[in-house]
Structure 1
Amino acid sequence: MLSLNPDKNRATVLAILTAALGFFVDAYDLLLYSIVRKASLEDLGCHGEALLATGVSLLNAQLFGLLLGGIFWGVLGDRRGRRSVLFGSIAMYSLATLANAFAHDTFWYGACRFVAGIGLAGELGAGVTLVSELMSPRNRGYGTMIVAAVGVLGVVTASLVGDFLPWRYSYAVGGLLGVLLLGLRIGVSESPIFKQALSAQTSRGNFLSLFTSWSRFSRYASLILVAMPIWYAIGILVTFSPELGTALGLKTQPRSSLAVMFYYLALTFGDLVNGYLSQLLQTRKRIIATFMGLAAVFCVAYFLLGGRSLLFFYSLCFLIGFVSGYWAVFVTVAAEQFGTNLRATVAVTAPNFVRGLTTLLTLAFQKLIPVVGIVKAAGIVGAVVFVVAFFALSQLSETYGRNLDFLEEI
């Protein structure tokens, strides 16, 4: 999987290690809010209906930060380099998360989540782009598989920490982990493919160019829509599991921290299996289609069987997490779809637009609740998401084994 050049091997291993640990802290921070939402907001004085309404508003503030940060870091990644974005984003979200531990009201809580969202937007895309450009076309899937699998364990860690420590301490732990990670900055080098592209007389990091060509726009939009089922599951089914579980008929209200932990623990295995199968079968597209189909099946089961018992409910969260494990392959495909002069822009913005567009899902969910009830509202949103995602996948080309040393003609 590695070359015979020791220096190149060292650079590749360091890039994988940094990207993986960076995504670990990224994932910890990103989902910690879902885990401590109820406890933290109650501590700040929110109760009853205000708990759900304020919870959605703060989640949307974080997701809006992801949208803005995705554009900022993506463009910067193609203009200044993958390495600068990798560590710049880590620094921003670490400091914002640390500040979150000292929030004294919901306004400052939301402000910290917004700034953290901007910072969280850059790490994964920049890390996967750097790893993809350092590894061979046939083996890069293994590198991104490791990054995603290690990273997702950050959420499992967040679930455990959020369960055993007060919410302020949980945020402090995330911030300090990110600050410590900055020590790896010295050993990570820039992508040779990016350095070579610097001499080319072409536009780099032109975000608007994604909308000036139908070919680029259709690829970009399809990429985003393909991953929406993953964030439908975490943004609605798992984040609001206490409310949904109660509405489904469970006598004991599910704990969001446990639902998140089971979901992401399974997602870790799903990422590994998904990444391995995409390498073994030499296809990204068919693997995504298979896992997405299974995700639709288990989401239906969530509504039909989730109310039988707490065991059934958590088991379905686990199964949905496992089949949502095409996130690693999705980010790899995002990096493989576009040339070097737009690769970071796409690889950084696409995952964050997926995360950010979860705002539309949660808003639709919130608006439908008074009309049809919380369970039907979640079901309607999910049905639309899966139909659109399957159509979007049909519009993407296969990218396994593609040489990344090419430029987009702008």
Structure 2
Amino acid sequence: MTKNQKWVLASTASGFSLENMDIMFLSFALAPIIASLHISSTAAGWIGSITNLGMLAGGAIFGLVGDRIGRVKTFTYTIFIFALATAAMFFAHSLPAIYLCRFLAGIGAGGEYGVGIALIAENFEPHLIGRLTSVAAIGGQVGAIFAAIMAAYIIPHFGWNALFLLGIIPVILTFFIRRHVHESQEFIVAHQKTIANHQRISVGRLFATPRLAMQTLGLMIMTIVQIAGYFGLMIWLPSIVQKQQGLSVSRSSIWMIATIVGMSIGMLVFGTVMDN
């Protein structure tokens, strides 16, 4: 790999790691939030749903922004948004404030995920995309394990609000990305061509022909089911295990780490299978 390719892979893996850390913070904090605010499971469920809706909005918005101003700038902006929104949860002591923070965090996380995948796709050979996106996704699971470990220690001693203060860590990553990661030649050429031809960057181009529209809709359905299903399940798993099995936060963290390790193996195996 070239120096820039190494930085792209390291940056996207780190970005996904910090995004998953944020999601898992909510997973382990959900039961304490319900207890401290005396809210129903339905109201708590909306916290995860609003996060997912934010991710949907962020993916759509920052996908267009990334096409217009570049992947690298957009990637750093999205990290900055979800980092500050996550840290702001420390000051959220009411349900409306939590909803707002989680929606903003979702916007940043959704945008960061899509732009990160685009960065990998444009900087590496097509036959390597499966394996390399798997490596980046495994980086995300490292963040999930870190969140499980931190939750086991911080929540019992300092409360659920303190856990989210760690969300400010990703801001540091933006400095290294802007300094070391550069736009791919593929993006630069395509962007210059778009400007020269006075082409308009819009979602409508994904539906330009019936065949392209069917492909776009198919991919949208696949990703919505996969991402919403994954985050919906992972957000609730710790709370379900704690309630059904009577486990503490610490013991449910060990259970989640085992799940995450299995997921990482699956990502690596099937990323390689996809390339072959």
TM class by shorter chain equals 0.7 to 0.9
1:235 aligns with 2:232: yes
Q: Do the aligned partners of 1:65 and 1:115 also contact (CA within 8 Å) in 2?
A: yes
- Aligned partner of 2:69 in structure 1 is 80
1:198 counterpart SS class: helix
Q: Which has the larger radius of gyration?
A: 1
Structure 1 runs not aligned, ≥5 long? 3-8, 283-410
Larger RCO of the pair (alpha carbons < 8 Å, separation 6+) = 2
Decide whether aligned partners of structure 1 residues 244 and 95 sit closer, same or farther in structure 2, where only a CA change above 3 A counts: closer
1:195 aligns with 2:179: no
Q: Do the aligned partners of 1:241 and 1:254 also contact (CA within 8 Å) in 2?
A: no
Q: TM-score, normalised by structure 1?
A: 0.59
- Aligned partner of 1:30 in structure 2 is 23
Residues 327-406 of structure 1 correspond to what in structure 2 (within 5 A)?
A: none
User: What is the one-letter code of the residue matched to 1:239?
Assistant: W
Q: TM-score, normalised by structure 2?
A: 0.86
Identity of aligned residues (%): 25
Alpha-carbon distance in 1 for matches of 2:78, 2:3: 23
1:116 aligns with 2:105: yes
The alignment covers a number of residue pairs equal to: 265
Q: For residue 170 of structure 1, report the CA deviation from its aligned partner.
A: 1.6
Q: Do the aligned partners of 1:142 and 1:275 also contact (CA within 8 Å) in 2?
A: yes
- Aligned partner of 1:304 in structure 2 is none
Q: Do the aligned partners of 2:26 and 2:235 also contact (CA within 8 Å) in 1?
A: no
Alpha-carbon distance in 1 for matches of 2:164, 2:242: 26
2:13 counterpart SS class: helix
User: What is the one-letter code of the residue matched to 1:30?
Assistant: I
Decide whether aligned partners of structure 1 residues 22 and 244 sit closer, same or farther in structure 2, where only a CA change above 3 A counts: closer
Decide whether aligned partners of structure 1 residues 32 and 208 sit closer, same or farther in structure 2, where only a CA change above 3 A counts: farther
Q: CA RMSD in A?
A: 2.4
Per-residue CA deviation, residues 328-347 of structure 1 (Å, 9 max, x unaligned), is: xxxxxxxxxxxxxxxxxxxx
Decide whether aligned partners of structure 1 residues 78 and 33 sit closer, same or farther in structure 2, where only a CA change above 3 A counts: same
1:134 aligns with 2:123: yes
Decide whether aligned partners of structure 1 residues 68 and 233 sit closer, same or farther in structure 2, where only a CA change above 3 A counts: closer
1:104 aligns with 2:93: yes
Q: For residue 176 of structure 1, report the CA deviation from its aligned partner.
A: 2.3
Decide whether aligned partners of structure 1 residues 268 and 202 sit closer, same or farther in structure 2, where only a CA change above 3 A counts: farther
Per-residue CA deviation, residues 143-174 of structure 1 (Å, 9 max, x unaligned), is: 2221111112211211221222122222111x
Alpha-carbon distance in 2 for matches of 1:271, 1:187: 27
Q: For residue 15 of structure 1, report the CA deviation from its aligned partner.
A: 0.8
Per-residue CA deviation, residues 288-338 of structure 1 (Å, 9 max, x unaligned), is: xxxxxxxxxxxxxxxxxxxxxxxxxxxxxxxxxxxxxxxxxxxxxxxxxxx
Decide whether aligned partners of structure 1 residues 38 and 254 sit closer, same or farther in structure 2, where only a CA change above 3 A counts: same
- Aligned partner of 2:3 in structure 1 is 10
User: What is the one-letter code of the residue matched to 2:84?
Assistant: L
Q: Do the aligned partners of 1:100 and 1:109 also contact (CA within 8 Å) in 2?
A: yes
Alpha-carbon distance in 1 for matches of 2:240, 2:128: 43
Residues 280-359 of structure 1 correspond to what in structure 2 (within 5 A)?
A: 282=276
Alpha-carbon distance in 1 for matches of 2:48, 2:235: 13
Per-residue CA deviation, residues 3-57 of structure 1 (Å, 9 max, x unaligned), is: xxxxxx00110111111101100111123212211112322233xxx1x111111
